[in-house]
Chain A
């Protein structure tokens, strides 16, 4: 244990005197997360999508006593699109447009007919978020106009059939769907606040994507950097217990992870505060969820260190070790990114068990199960993280081959 204390003390001293690394470690998430939030809100607000409407229609028509021309429809579209924050041009080229809408000939004739459908042709700029926003606004406005005209036709038909129709929606859309509330995967009802917590947990699980890199960079330097700085050979020649040597370096590197965890949590809080200010929404953050996330961040760092350690020990240079450990970082990023698209907790059991062999799956599930109130399952996944890490650290201490470490790379 004396060896372990000596190594820990030395590693920590070297770490806290590495001002540049510490600065980047703390500045990066503190700068990037709030910046992302600012970009998501402010830039979206100043990015006003624009639509060009080309009216080729010269037709007109009646629904009952109501008379419509294509100009009426176009003006209606323009008015509603403006209310949705879209700049609209009619038959006139702008320097830059995000969407082009063509009102074809006989549009109004088809619109006012009881037997035909009217079509609008839309042309979109590919890969443009402004174009997607414009398209979304257009669909919303057209839906509204479509419902309005449907209602007019239904009322007209009702008058013809001498049927009193008080609610055209009952004919137009006999079945409607609406969100009544929230449930957990178990089926138990949950409150609005709990629902928010689950949503935030998803984002927190995704934010683990930032965790792996600082710790792996540090452990690579801590082991192979010693070789390149010519301090490793003396250390290996001492009576130091190799297991304690590895443990000391891993724990010191995990302190980097702990620091990253604290900074990450602060950055995430800033992220949500800026986001909520930008959208004018009050976002609730559960402090216990943040604490659990901090613990998961630390354990995820430890797991990353334990996975990369055997690979680093067998690498001959820092460059090789960094390439090898970047593969691990990519795997972790894939798991954390998948959180946005896949519900890991609802995958078939077999698949879940298989994926649980990857420590990062346990990181995600620990956060998400906590958010669902499944404390036992959350704890189980934390224990799996710890167990996997310890096993790999012990394996690494057995893999140290002093001769291989000392030989110059080919």
Chain B
């Protein structure tokens, strides 16, 4: 089984505070991998390290078997060509239309018109909507556009930090459908973080539970349920976190 992303004893200290404490993670190629944990557990920091935006204070990061040297700009550029990152708190350029927004990132990634059309399709936005400035969009529409931006280049690895954060039920369902379809049809690796256990149950083939900067579990959801004698992931999480 190939591993697309590996974190080997990774630590991160920010302003004297230990955010991540020697975490080990392996994300198999082609899987939908969920990083779950409560607020402040270290999910976003982990995602940023994987996205090469933050340098770990200790340990090593491997992306597609290549050890990441954060001082090498050319290596970082090379890696960023095969992965995309959607932060939790991200927004669009309000003065650009939906189409201009997608085209801007299409130009940066150097992708074809066909891939741009793919992005338009997965955004689920109408031709009329795409002609309007994104500043006029609802939050759900902007989020779908952001996800389309992240997936349209068909990256080897898509890192999505809380993709359904702040969305209503209908928008969240639509977003999850896009993620599932993308994973199924293209066999790409998707790493997403969430504190919604139902979402994790719905989407993920493998999960890692993180609490206070430490991985408390990593493996299959079924394994987690069995290990803790739980009926759902929420119960698993509460039990494992309370132990700590």
A contacts, CB < 8 Å to B = 2-3, 5-6, 9-10, 13-14, 17-18, 229-231, 233-234, 236-242, 402-403, 406-407, 410
Q: Is the CB of A239 within 8 A of B77?
A: yes
- The answer to whether A403 and B108 have CB atoms under 8 Å apart is no
Q: What is the distance, in angstroms, from B18's C-beta to the closest C-beta of chain A? A: 16
Interface size class of B (residues with CB under 8 A): 35 or more
Listed by A's residue number, 7 A-B pairs whose Cβ atoms lie within 8 Å are: A14-B93, A230-B90, A234-B146, A237-B51, A238-B109, A241-B77, A402-B53
Q: Contacts A17-B95, A234-B149, A407-B14 hold; do A239 and B90 have CB atoms under 8 A apart?
A: no
Contact among B89, B92, B100, B108 for A239, CB-based, below 8 A: B108
Find chain B residues with CB under 8 A from A233 CB.
53, 85, 87, 89-90
Chain A nearest CB from B39 CB (Å) reads 14
Q: Which residues of B contact A6 (CB under 8 A)?
A: 104, 107-108
Pick the 4 closest A-B CB pairs, nearest first. Answer: A6-B107, A237-B85, A239-B80, A230-B91
Known: A6-B104, A234-B85. A229 touches B91 (CB 8 A): yes
Residue from B78, B107, B108 having most chain A Cβ neighbours under 10 A: B108
Residues of A within 8 A of B91 (CB): 229-231
Cβ of B206 within 8 Å of any chain A Cβ, yes or no, is no
Partner of A10, one of B87, B104, B146, B149: B104
Q: Which residues of A contact B93 (CB under 8 A)?
A: 10, 14, 231
Whole-angstrom distance from the CB of B134 to the nearest CB of chain A? 10
Picked from A13, A238, A402, A407, the residue with its CB within 8 Å of the CB of B108 is: A238
Closest A residue to B97 by CB, please name it: A13
CB neighbours of A17 from chain B (8 A): 95, 133
Q: How far is the CA of A299 from the CA of B92 in the complex (A)?
A: 32
Q: Which chain B residues border A14 with CB–CB below 8 Å?
A: 93, 95-96
Q: How far is the CB of B181 from chain A (nearest CB, A)?
A: 22
Please pick, from A230, A239, A402, A403, the residue contacting B81 in the complex, using a CB distance under 8 A: A239
| Bound-complex Cα distance A263 to B169 (A) | 52
Contact residues in A for B94 (Cβ distance below 8 Å): 229
Asked whether B85 lies within 8 Å of A240 as measured between CB atoms, the reply is: no
Q: Check B40 for interface membership: any CB of A closer than 8 A.
A: no
Asked whether, in the complex, the Cβ of A237 is within 8 Å of the Cβ of B55, the reply is no
Q: Determine the distance from Cα of A242 to Cα of B53 in the docked complex, in whole angstroms.
A: 13
- For residue A233, which residue of chain B has the nearest CB? B87
Complex CA–CA separation, A402 to B104 (angstroms): 21
Q: Say whether chain B's binding surface is mostly helix, strand, loop, or mixed.
A: mixed
Q: Which residues of A contact B108 (CB under 8 A)?
A: 2-3, 6, 238-240
Chain A residues touching B, majority SS: helix
B86 proximity list for chain A (CB < 8 A): 234
Is B182 positioned at the interface, with any CB of A under 8 Å from its CB?
A: no
**A17 CA / B87 CA spacing, docked (Å):** 26
Provide the bound-state CA to CA distance between A239 and B75, in Å: 10
Q: Which of A6, A14, A233 has the most CB of B within 10 A?
A: A233
- Our pick among B54, B80, B90, B133 for the contact of A238 (Cβ within 8 Å) is B80
Inter-chain contacts of A3 with B (CB < 8 A): 107-108
Separation of A233 and B86 alpha carbons in the complex (Å): 8
Q: Nearest residue in B to A407 (C-beta to C-beta)? A: B14
Do residues B95 and A239 form an inter-chain contact, with CB atoms below 8 A?
no
B187 beta carbon closer than 8 Å to chain A: no
Q: Would you give the shortest CB distance from A360 to chain B, in whole angstroms?
A: 32
Contact B90 A234 (CB under 8 A): yes
Chain A residues near B85 (CB, 8 Å)?
A: 233-234, 237
B90 → chain A, closest Cβ, in Å? 5
A-side contacts of B15, CB under 8 Å = 407, 410
Bound CA span A9–B146, Å = 20
Smallest Cβ-Cβ distance to B82: which chain A residue:
A239
Q: Is B73 an interface residue (CB 8 A)?
A: yes
A239 to B105, alpha carbons, bound, how many Å? 10
* Of B54, B73, B81, B89, the contact of A242 (CB 8 Å cutoff): B73
Complex alpha-carbon distance, A9 and B84, angstroms: 22
Chain B residues with Cβ under 8 A from A407's Cβ? 14-15
CB of A237 within 8 A of CB of B80, answer yes
Besides A234-B146, A237-B85, A406-B53, 14 other CB < 8 A contacts? A6-B104, A6-B108, A10-B93, A14-B96, A18-B95, A231-B90, A234-B86, A234-B87, A234-B149, A237-B84, A238-B105, A402-B54, A403-B54, A407-B15
The contact of A5 among B53, B55, B107, by CB within 8 Å, is B107
| B53 near A239: Cβ-Cβ < 8 Å | no
Known: A13-B96, A233-B90, A238-B80. A403 touches B53 (CB 8 A): yes
Which residues of B, 39-88, contact A by the 8 Å Cβ criterion? 48, 51-55, 73, 77-78, 80-81, 84-87
Contacting pair A10 B96 (CB below 8 A) = yes
Q: Nearest chain B CB to A289's CB is how many angstroms away?
A: 37
Q: Which residues of B contact A241 (CB under 8 A)?
A: 77
- Give min CB distance, A149 to chain B, whole Å: 75
| Cα A231 to Cα B84 with chains together (Å) | 14
For A230, list chain B residues within 8 Å (CB): 87, 89-91
Identify which of residues 218-238 in chain B touch chain A, using a CB-to-CB cut-off of 8 Å: none
Expressed in whole angstroms, the Cα–Cα distance for A406 and B45 within the complex equals 11
- CB of A403 within 8 A of CB of B55, answer yes
For the complex, what is the distance from the CA of A83 to the CA of B73, rounded to whole Å? 77
A410, closest chain B residue (CB): B15
| Bound Cα distance A407, B12 (Å) | 13
CB distance from B157 to the nearest CB of A (A): 12
The smallest beta-carbon distance between A309 and chain B, in angstroms, is 18
Contacts of A238 in B (CB 8 A): 80, 84, 105, 108-109
> Which residues on B sit within 8 Å (CB–CB) of A410?
15
A237/B53 contact (C-beta < 8 A), A6-B107, A230-B89 known: yes
Residues of A within 8 A of B48 (CB): 406
